[in-house]
Structure 1
Amino acid sequence: MMEKEEIIRNILKSLLPMMDKKALVLLTGGTADYQEYQKMVDELLLTEARIAVTPAFQCLASSEIRDRLGPRYIMDGGMLYREMNEINIIIIPVLTRNTLAKGAMGIQDNLVSMAIAAGFMKKIPILAVTENCSPDSGHTREKGMNLNETYNRMMIGHEERWKEFGAILIGREEFSSRLKKMLYPEITIYSENRSPEQISSEVFQVLTMKDVQYFHQGQRVRVFSRSVITPSAREALNEKNIIVEII
């Protein structure tokens, strides 16, 4: 069975290619319970993600982790709501039963539950891994936490409410592929031998240096308002005086 630390590490690695996308990562007490979490801190700090944590995370995480993540922390409600205007996606690597229930009932008693409620109300995509809270997960079964069918139905009901609100709840093995689909829903894979005429008719969800090399001087290209343009692609666009039209 995959180690819990490796699950979180793989999730954080999936955030690295997001470039211009702004993510909010919500860390719960379930996250802080991982003994080797400090191994993942460097990878998290390489992303552009902001971080909001529960009081349980603050209590359980080591002082070293809290200090290193500190500059990324959202500290209060006012700061949270300002940040929410810029957030493209909310990631919950470990959704606990407590946070699941609060989100389903609209409870807003800490920064994480406030962020979830705001995400639902603003229709910001939320991607949450349910390994720790779903009655059907291997983790829950291994711990013997799925023996009360009535309680299980309550938790499944909470999951269904989240889905009605628009959240995507997944197992750990689905995370990377679902994240890419959420970030780039309209991306199409094209052949390498594209002509400039073919390129000019595309609307780019992701624009990389590899794409720009096919463009000619002064060409006009189209992107979506939330498309990703990598830093190297931006430099090449400027060098070729390419006009980028946002639609």
Structure 2
Amino acid sequence: MIKALAAEIISRLNKRVLLFITGGAVNIKEVFTVLRENPLASYGIVMSEAAARVIPGEYIESLKGKIIREKSEMTGEINRADLVVIPVMTRNTLSKVSLGIADNLVTLGISEAVMMNKKILVVKDSFDPENPVNISLGYTKNKYYNQMLLNYCERLKNMGIEFTDAGQLNERLRHALGIKFESSKPPKAEKKIISNILTLEDLLGMGKGHVELCLEGGTKISPLARDYIESNGITIKYLREKE
């Protein structure tokens, strides 16, 4: 009887989350870590062809979710979902969904979720023209293109979709699922990079603001990496004096 009661309680606590994943790459390590470490979510996963090529397979496997490939099955999952999450939304997907274009399983599924008025949470890092990574990569130099993306984002907000960045995903995800927790300031983290040259690629998986970056003395920093460090408030500490 106790086992049956425990199983019933767990089943009620467990939340059904449907993920629509596209082929972006900005801050995906941080995003998938948050998803993987959420103990009360059961995932269904719909991926675009680009996502299958770009997102590391181990990230998807770590979620232990059910991959959905058929439209009829996807519609059923949307109906049952407590929350729809788009952990990676590209500029392409943002534009299509905001214009009502549904030309693949992911855009069709997001459109159906909007029409069903489901609770939808989107991580905006991959398309956001204000994201430091996109700025460092030189993708935000055309202010009119940037404004177009922001207008699409605002249109989806008016439809009830919520947006967050990777750094706030854990808090927003738990809030959306009704999971109470005590927030605390994240501890200072250190990342030691043993390398002659620090590049932007080395930095993309790091957090923001609270990170102390440890470098070997004499390590050179590429221009894009330096822009990213300055934009994200990362502190540099050399393990020994630079030569």
Return the TM-score normalized by structure 2.
0.59
List per-residue Cα deviations over 1:153-190 (Å, max 9, x = no partner). 110111001101111111112112222222229x799x
Q: Which residue of 2 aligns with 1:147?
A: 141
Instruction: Give 3-state SS (helix, strand or coil) of 1:176's partner.
Output: helix
Q: Which residue of 2 aligns with 1:162?
A: 156
Q: Give the drift of 1:81.
A: 0.9
- Amino acid of the residue matched to residue 149 of structure 2? M
- How far, CA to CA, are the matches of 2:94 and 2:24 in structure 1? 12
- Check the 8 A contact 1:32/1:61 in 2, yes or no: no
Q: Which residue of 2 aligns with 1:184?
A: 178
- Check the 8 A contact 2:31/2:87 in 1, yes or no: no
Instruction: Give 3-state SS (helix, strand or coil) of 1:116's partner.
Output: helix
Cα 1:139–1:88, aligned 2, differ >3 Å: closer, same or farther? same
- Check the 8 A contact 1:94/1:132 in 2, yes or no: yes
- How far, CA to CA, are the matches of 1:127 and 1:39 in structure 2? 16
- Amino acid of the residue matched to residue 73 of structure 2? M
Q: Give the drift of 1:42.
A: 6.9
Cα 1:133–1:24, aligned 2, differ >3 Å: closer, same or farther? same
Instruction: Give 3-state SS (helix, strand or coil) of 1:118's partner.
Output: helix
Cα 1:54–1:31, aligned 2, differ >3 Å: closer, same or farther? farther
Instruction: Give 3-state SS (helix, strand or coil) of 1:174's partner.
Output: helix
Instruction: Give 3-state SS (helix, strand or coil) of 1:48's partner.
Output: strand
- Check the 8 A contact 1:31/1:57 in 2, yes or no: no
Cα 1:188–1:99, aligned 2, differ >3 Å: closer, same or farther? closer
- Check the 8 A contact 2:22/2:48 in 1, yes or no: yes
Equivalent position to 2:95, from 88, 101, 104: 101
- How far, CA to CA, are the matches of 1:82 and 1:59 in structure 2? 26
Structure with the bigger percentage of helix: 1
Q: Give the drift of 1:59.
A: 3.1
Equivalent position to 1:88, from 69, 78, 82: 82
Instruction: Give 3-state SS (helix, strand or coil) of 2:74's partner.
Output: helix
Which residues of structure 2 form unaligned runs of 5+?
Answer: 1-11, 183-243
Q: Which residue of 2 aligns with 1:114?
A: 108
Q: What is the correspondence of 1:1-247 to structure 2 with a 5 Å cutoff? A: 19-30=13-24, 47-61=41-55, 72-184=66-178
- Check the 8 A contact 2:26/2:125 in 1, yes or no: no
Instruction: Give 3-state SS (helix, strand or coil) of 2:163's partner.
Output: strand
- How far, CA to CA, are the matches of 2:46 and 2:170 in structure 1? 21
Q: Give the drift of 1:137.
A: 1.2
Cα 1:56–1:169, aligned 2, differ >3 Å: closer, same or farther? same
Q: Give the drift of 1:50.
A: 0.3
- Check the 8 A contact 1:23/1:91 in 2, yes or no: yes
Cα 1:130–1:33, aligned 2, differ >3 Å: closer, same or farther? closer
- Amino acid of the residue matched to residue 111 of structure 2? A
Instruction: Give 3-state SS (helix, strand or coil) of 1:93's partner.
Output: strand
Cα 1:44–1:30, aligned 2, differ >3 Å: closer, same or farther? farther
Q: Give the drift of 1:58.
A: 2.4
Instruction: Give 3-state SS (helix, strand or coil) of 1:114's partner.
Output: helix
- How far, CA to CA, are the matches of 1:72 and 1:149 in structure 2? 40
Instruction: Give 3-state SS (helix, strand or coil) of 1:52's partner.
Output: strand
List per-residue Cα deviations over 1:117-142 (Å, max 9, x = no partner). 01111111111111111111112111
What is the aligned residue count?
171
